[in-house]
Amino acid sequence: MSQDESESSVGITWKFRQVELGRILSAYRKLRGEDRRLAESRMLSWLDAHKAEAGWDELRRIAPAGKLAKLESPGLADEILTLPNIEPLTCAYEIPELLLGSLLSKPQRHVYVAHRPEVDFERIDKKIGCYCGEETRYSIPPTRLSDAENIAIVYHELEAGGHSLSHNHPGDEILYVDEGLVEVRMEDTGLWVRLDKGSFIHFEAGQLHSAWNCSDKTAKMFIIRYLQLSSGTRLDVLREVASLKPSKRLIKTILEDIRCSVWTPLEQQEYLQPDQVCDRRGLGRFLELLCSERFLGDGHGGLTYNDLHERSETKQYDYSRSKLARLHYGEAPVKKEQLLELADIYRVAPILFYNFLFPAFRYAIAVQDKDEKGMRLIPREFGSSDGVVYKVPHRRLAYSDIAIATATLSPRESTPENRHPGYELLKPLEGEVAVKFGTTGHPPITRGEYALFCSDSRHRVCNFGEAPARVLIIRFLE
């Protein structure tokens, strides 16, 4: 879409899925540790000041007398709320307009969506009429997967001297630099990272963050927010900490956190080429997801420790029910070779476990990707082959349910078929790839495009071309 078109479209009617809006507002308020009454008093002041204006009946219906409990309630019917603008909400919750802006992408009941941000994304900063920083443009996809409400994709461009508004929000963020030189500034930790084309950062988005263009050329960034509004490892940890009854699992998690914080050069080798799982908590949560009824869709309540134990015995492995429980709780050490046995027992591709070998750091991990120096090769026994070479970052973001990898596919090669909980995003870096679900194929996507799909259906990534293809793979484990 051209800039002229977008600039002429100021003024919109906001249509929200009430459930999504309620979750995002509630999560944002909790992230800031604010009591709902404070948001209610701001809402009341706003409504009092705008009594004469028409168009607020729906808001008054869902938030009578400024009461926001109904709006935030997760049990709401999935109805559409239409508002003339979002000022009462952004005032009440002091939430940046742009965070709600991503809800303007049309939800679609598909399992696969692909877009080319520079061509078919819609610019929203002008449309919303909000301040988002200097010399900056924000665009969103025209459509999104309706069930993937935790995943928001934004394309962000900064002219020379430009920067985004410093902001924070629940969950994780991945910022991939498509063009230019960008500095990501995280005010709370004082962590400033410069990223050039092809580099990316994965960080905890509760920290105040902003992006600054450091060159005299336009910078272009592909941004993924993974909001995890009502579930996820980080929320689980926070809930456990708040309960003040530290479980064994919480103590182990904290100890591992401390171990990463006091990193010494002596331990570096162990971290770079680990022979056992560093992120036990992350692995445990993933194992639980693999056993969930939602993933298995068996209608029988999912896999029990008994089921897993039986499978283990059949394969002549040594996993008792209590050992399996300890694995799920992140309490048992796991050697690298054991991951292959676990893949066999849980009936998934071993590559899905490989990320958990690496240590998890709390605030951010950056991959300066030019030569993939921050990446480690996945060995053959875990999934690489002559035709498909996988790599993963040698660090993980702590308490994150995102797994990142790259795959290089030789001409006419495909990955093995696999399935896993949640969603997968593909961003081709070289060449072109296509996603196939069984015999159903989708058109190839190339550099500058991306595809997002439900990964609990069996899928494979194919390179039908005559040139090698390299693709960034992001798995959202939910």
Per-residue contact track with Fe ion, 158 to 197, x per CB under 5 A? ---------------x------------------------
Q: Which of residues 198-257 bind Fe ion (CB under 5 A)?
A: none
Tell me how many residues contact Fe ion (CB under 5 A): 4
Q: Smallest gap, in angstroms, from Cβ of residue 363 to Fe ion?
A: 14
Residue 164 CB, nearest distance to Fe ion (Å)?
A: 8
Closest to Fe ion by CB, 157 or 424: 424
Q: Which is closer to Fe ion, CB of 49 or CB of 208? A: 208
Q: Are 152 and 139 in contact (CB under 8 A)?
A: no
Binding range to Fe ion, per CB under 5 A, among 232-240, 304-312, 379-387, 419-427: 419-427
User: In the complex, what is the shortest distance from the CB of residue 75 to Fe ion, in angstroms, rounded to a whole number?
Assistant: 28
Q: How far apart are CA 97 and CA 342, in angstroms?
A: 44
Q: Between residues 59 and 473, which has the closer beta carbon with respect to Fe ion?
A: 473
Token match 């209608």: residue? 299
The b/e string for 212-250 (b: 16+ C-beta within 10 A; e otherwise) is bbbeeeebbbbbbbbbbbeebbbbbbeeeeeeeeeeebb
User: Cβ 407 to Fe ion, closest distance in Å?
Assistant: 10
Sign of CA dihedral 336, 337, 339, 340: positive
CB of 356 vs Fe ion, minimal distance in Å: 16
Report in angstroms how near the CB of residue 387 gets to Fe ion at its nearest.
Answer: 16
In degrees and rounded to multiples of 5, residue 305 shows phi and psi of: -60, -30
Site for Fe ion in 76-135 (CB under 5 A): none
SS in 3 state form for 62-74?
Answer: HCHHHCCHHHHCC
Is residue 91 packed enough to be buried (19+ CB in 10 Å), middle (13-18) or exposed (0-12)? Answer: middle
Both structure tokens of 246: 């530290």
In angstroms, the CA 411 to CA 387 distance is 8
SS3 call for 200: strand
Structure tokens at 473: 């793979």
Of 81 and 182, which has the nearer Cβ to Fe ion? 182
By beta-carbon proximity to Fe ion, the closer residue of 97 and 173 is: 173
Beta carbon of residue 420, minimum distance to Fe ion (angstroms, whole number): 6
> How buried is 1 (Cβ within 10 angstroms: 0-12 exposed, 13-18 middle, 19+ buried)?
middle
Q: Which of residues 359-418 bind Fe ion (CB under 5 A)?
A: 418
- Closer residue to Fe ion, CB minimum distance, 194 or 323: 194
Pairing type for strands 133-140 and 122-123 reads antiparallel
Task: Print the binding letters for residues 429-458 with Fe ion: x by CB under 5 A, - otherwise.
Answer: --------------------------x---
Answer for the pair 228, 172: CB distance below 8 angstroms, yes or no: yes
- C-beta of 43 vs 461, nearer to Fe ion: 461
Judged on CB neighbours under 10 Å (0-12, 13-18, 19+), 30 is middle
| Euclidean distance between CA atoms 112 and 436, whole angstroms | 10
- The one segment of 46-54, 83-91, 390-398, 423-431 that binds Fe ion by CB under 5 A: 423-431
User: Which one, 276 or 418, has the nearer CB to Fe ion?
Assistant: 418
- Least Å distance, CB 168 to Fe ion, is 7
CB nearer to Fe ion: give 125 or 424.
Answer: 424
Min dist CB 225 to Fe ion, Å, is 6
Contact residues: Fe ion, CB under 5 A = 173, 418, 424, 455
